[in-house]
Chain A
């Protein structure tokens, strides 16, 4: 059973790994014949123009900037929402849930216009603005649930000690929020790493492409056939950071979603 599940989940990826290690002529040969392994595909991808790690760096930069910005905005918002009472709280919560579900591709045209009129095109840091907005709803909902889990007496005690709002957040609440922040950060990072429609319309310079766009271009932008070996190498390289992240942070992801998911 476990094996079957693993085969289903990893099979296609393992096939990519195999493809990436084969010589081009072995790709079109029948399955059983010999195994002429090679690292040439990786060399090709890493020495391309621009080299592949450029896309990895671009995606990383956008991901980090987005994560930082999202957390900066989401923490106060979640705290405020948690303290809010009455219909406003309900309304904002519902609006956030609706925004969290919204398919982002439907936003691209208006965002393209914004990018053009404010000169935000071809700028990786600017790209993190819409990305932060796309991640905010989920982040706020997750963090609000985390705030709700903190015992209320703790903050009351801090208030009695004479600590201001900023100090309470900074020294009392946030340290306790560590795990929730970590899991939120990972989810935000993943979302921005994988985003497609907006990056597709905001970035046109090939040295600024993020990973999903760069990879899609290999498919749509090639001559007669797709260079599948090189492409497979690109997918393996692009998957490795995520594999690491997921292995390291698996529990954070599960617990993060568990906590906030249904409350929204």
Chain B
């Protein structure tokens, strides 16, 4: 047996499992999205001539959710990148007790999303949560943080940032460790300030890691599901509903598998477009830094 054949054989079991869990669903959704497969057809697929896609274009709920999901992803990912960068820079410095500190800041990322989603619901509870309790003890009256769209939205983003910022920090920390210490030292001897070092050395070298964090987090945030399902259920009045939650409801609540598949495929396409956009953006930015350095 030639070496490539052995390689392929070794990879085969893993690739087969991956294909059946990742590739098969996409193909299946592609097919189902062209079928009526709902309670009206007795859950049996019947071709419906692309009616699902026509419905998608006119579905106010889908487009509202798409806008909300995109807005959520952009806000929380940019906050996570900023906060993650700051956290990574802090954890990179030689501090006393850095090990335990790293472990403890990592903890929010390691916990199941649902655990803290419910935790946040208690913290924001009206009127008994700690925030409202504090407001009342200061003489104010308690506020329904999770019954007003604006505040609900804010806290959904906050909860997501809280949970995933450590992960971004971890990735960037990995990047920071690749930066040679003597390079930084040399710049410092030239009289560069901390900010200048950050701008001219650290950030440009971190670009690949930032790109990775951005793409990864963007993909995950565009598929946000469990946090929203547990924290708000999509409410109030659908103002925090994400595309993934809408797809889930179409399948599990409306028993409309044809349309649920359509929504999921559309979400996937939206994801590809956003990731492509994000990647191009960062690449141009990275090149900008490169030319700046060359100049």
Residues of A within 8 A of B (CB): 1-2, 5-6, 8-10, 12-13, 15-16, 19, 27-28, 30-32, 73-74, 76-77, 79-81, 83-85, 88, 92, 95-96, 99-114, 129-130, 132-134, 136-137, 140, 165, 190, 193-194, 196-197, 201, 211-213, 215-216, 218-220, 226, 228, 231-232, 235, 238-239, 242-243, 245-247, 250-251, 253-254, 257-258, 261-262
Contacts and interface: CB of A to CB of B under 8 A. Distances in A.
Contacts of A96: 18
B189 interface: no
A246 B107 contact: yes
13 contacts: A9-B104, A9-B162, A92-B11, A105-B225, A105-B244, A136-B14, A216-B117, A216-B118, A235-B115, A242-B107, A246-B107, A250-B100, A254-B170
Contacts of A16: 119, 122
Interface stretch (B60-68, B180-188, B247-255, B285-293): B247-255
Sort A-B residue pairs by CB-CB distance and give the 6 closest, nearest first. Answer: A103-B223, A110-B25, A80-B10, A133-B21, A258-B174, A77-B14
Given A2-B97, A31-B130, A261-B174, 8 more contacts: A10-B107, A13-B108, A108-B251, A196-B225, A196-B226, A226-B122, A242-B110, A250-B106
Contacts of A257: 170-171, 174
Interface residues of B, number: 91
Interface in B193-223: 208-209, 212, 215-216, 219-220, 222-223
Given A6-B105, A216-B229, A239 B115 contact: yes
B264 interface: yes
B36 interface: no
A247 B100 contact: yes
B17 interface: yes
Interface stretch (B48-56, B74-82, B132-140): B132-140
Interface centre among B114, B119, B251, B260 (most CB of A within 10 A): B114
A88 B20 CA distance: 20
Main DSSP-derived SS at the A contact region: helix
A216 B114 contact: yes
Interface of B: 3-4, 6-11, 13-15, 17-18, 20-22, 24-25, 28-29, 87, 90, 95, 97, 99-108, 110-123, 125, 128, 130, 133-134, 136-137, 162, 166, 170-171, 173-175, 177, 208-209, 212, 215-216, 219-220, 222-226, 229-230, 233, 244, 247-248, 251-252, 257, 260-261, 264, 267-268, 271, 275
A80 B102 contact: no
Contacts of A101: 215-216, 219-220, 275
A79 B267 contact: no
A84 B4 contact: yes
B125 A228 contact: yes
A216 B230 CA distance: 6
A231 B177 contact: no
B17 A136 contact: yes
B244 A220 contact: no
B18 A136 contact: yes
Interface centre among B21, B103, B268 (most CB of A within 10 A): B21
